Amino acid sequence: MFGFPGYLWPWNTLYFAIAFATWLWLTPQGATMTTFEPGWILFILARNAVLVTVVVSAWHLRLYVHRAQDTQYKYNGRWLATDNSAFLFRDQFKDNIFWTFASGVPIWTAYEVITLWAQANGYVPTVDWAAHPVYCALIVLAIPVFREAHFYCIHRLIHWRPLYRTVHKLHHANVNPGPWSGLSMHPVEHLLYFSGVLVHWIVPSHPLHVIFHLQHLAYAPAQGHNGFDKVKLRNGAEMSVEHYTHYLHHKYFEVNYGDGLVPLDKLFGTFHDGTPEADEALKRRRRQRVAS
């Protein structure tokens, strides 16, 4: 999964293709974005809402509505919770939808609008793709790596007990997550989660880099929270999703703060691969914490 071909294909290539089409056909011209006008801001808000609906629904409809493979390869045999007081409306799906659109999409859009506005006005360093194609391509390749490292850091932060209780607990109500659980977060968590895009205020970047970075943040959680190890395709083939480690994070809370692309969990002793040995290591850490 983590070799160079796997790094490119299929997910990063797919997310970049969506971002490229978005920049080419669904983003206002730079001159339009030099001032904060409701027209283009609301257009980007609506565009983001539609795109995230399409991407996340692709997972949700096949796996949870049509149940095309029932519970085969599902980490947890139960389906999404209903009549559960842990969720708004006592319904996990409705709760996830609410937080995605009431908080996630607006905050994502705010970061995008402000950053594109700053680039259009020359307030932050920008780069011309045609003049520096190799540099721009390297930035694209670096974004998922930076994204992972940033996510690990903010994820460890919001597991600090005061922030966990007031902020991150909302996301962890999804012990048995589904695709829409990925962006179901408290607004403070959304502010932290999407803040990685601020690196483009420092590193010379193109608007396409900004769009790709934010869309990667918006779409990848559906993949990481879909609850299945593999997806069966219509031609009988199987596609590996390989996000068991993040499912284990939702199960055990104190492990796998990253997604494995950058081995920070192994470095800091928080990695869990689902084996009995990893269970014992987790129990030892918990006993040591209680003893201290």
pLDDT, mean of residues 61-71: 96
Cα 158 from Cα 154, distance rounded (Å): 6
Q: For 185-196, write each residue's pLDDT tens digit.
A: 999 999 999 999
- Paired tokens of 197: 């895009």
43 close to 36: Cβ distance less than 8 angstroms? no
Domain count, the chain: 1
Cα 85 from Cα 275, distance rounded (Å): 32
Residues 6+ apart with CB under 8 A from 48: 105, 108, 109, 112, 218
Owning domain of residue 268: 4-291
Q: How many residues does the chain have?
A: 292
Query: What is the model's pTM?
Result: 0.94
Q: For 219-239, write each residue's pLDDT tens digit.
A: 999 999 999 999 998 887 888
- pLDDT attached to residue 5: 57
The percentage of the chain sitting over the pLDDT mark of 90, rounded to a whole number, equals 80
Cα 292 from Cα 285, distance rounded (Å): 11
Whether residue 87 is predicted with pLDDT greater than 70 in this model: the reply is yes
Smallest Cα–Cα separation from 74: which of 187, 226, 199, 274?
A: 226
- The torsion of the CA quartet 147, 151, 154, 159, rounded to 10 degrees, works out to 180
Q: What pairing do the DSSP bridges indicate for beta strands 238-240 and 230-232?
A: antiparallel
Residues 6+ apart with CB under 8 A from 271: 245, 255, 256, 263, 265, 278
Average pLDDT of the chain, as a whole number: 93
Residue 167 burial (CB count, 10 A) = 21
Residue with tokens 């962890």: 172
Q: For 101-142, write each residue's pLDDT tens digit.
A: 999 999 999 999 999 999 999 999 999 999 999 999 999 999
